Structure 1
């Protein structure tokens, strides 16, 4: 990859990987650091990575960095009580996007990442498998389980509207 292609990668993919990291972590400062570290890693391997493989490399690197941050946070955090969250959702009537974001925050890290890659970023099952290190059938199962959880979390659409 040439320096021109590297700069083109920054222009093309920095927003996408930032959005992905932000959906995973909900912490803007940490996400900026992760994106910067990711592009630094790409720069250090600029001679080894082809331009057409750069997007996959970037998302894979961001994925692993966000998973590391989540695991670090989980060691220090508290478990979520789903019943209390459901009560608060039914008592307040926020918009659907906010409810979906809360539901996404409750998903296990693997399910959350594959749903974000599939539904927000538009990757195919095969590409998600390459990024996450999962096989294609595992990706499909995680997406199914995540969507089922979100469906149950939201409940009937009449409850939201």
Structure 2
């Protein structure tokens, strides 16, 4: 991969990678860090990366960095103390975006990433398999199960708008 190929890859895929990572991490700074480190790794390995495979390489590295970040975050626990009288409880009005985000949050990391890559970013089963290190049939099965889980959550009476 030449410097020009690298720059073309950055221009073409930076927004897609960032959007994918941000949807999974839900924290802008963390998403920027993950995407930055993915591009950095691609730059360091540019001699081994073929220009026509840069998208797959980039998403694979970003996905793996995101998984590492999530694993590290799970090890860190934060404790917040609240006074009982300071708590406010109310039921928000349901809206589709909030319900969909709650449904996606209920999926595990792999399922959420599959749904985001296929349904939000529009990648093929083959591309998703390359990014996540799964076979095409595994992608299809895991995606089917994730969609069923989403469907079962979304059709609950309390979630219907």
Correspondence 1:113 to 2:125: no
Quote the offset at 1:62 in angstroms. 0.7
CA distance 1:119–1:138, change in 2 (3 Å) = same
Compare CA radii of gyration and give the structure with the larger one. Answer: 2
TM-score by length of 2: 0.85
Query: Partner residue of 1:87?
Result: none
Distance (whole Å) between structure 2 residues aligned to residue 14 and residue 40 of structure 1: 12
Correspondence 1:3 to 2:3: yes
Secondary structure, aligned partner of 2:74: helix
Distance (whole Å) between structure 1 residues aligned to residue 155 and residue 104 of structure 2: 14
State the Cα deviation string for residues 77-102 of structure 1 (Å, max 9, x = none): 59xxxxxxxxxxxx543321221112
Return 5+ residue gaps in structure 1 as ranges. Answer: 79-90
Query: Partner residue of 1:82?
Result: none
Residue-pair matches, total: 149
Q: What does 1:99-138 correspond to in 2, within 5 Å?
A: 99-138=99-138
Do the aligned residues in 2 keep the contact of 1:25 with 1:31 (CA within 8 Å)? yes
Secondary structure, aligned partner of 2:31: helix
TM-score by length of 1: 0.85
Do the aligned residues in 1 keep the contact of 2:153 with 2:159 (CA within 8 Å)? no
Return 5+ residue gaps in structure 2 as ranges. Answer: 79-90
- Which structure: greater helix fraction? 1
Quote the offset at 1:73 in angstroms. 2.2
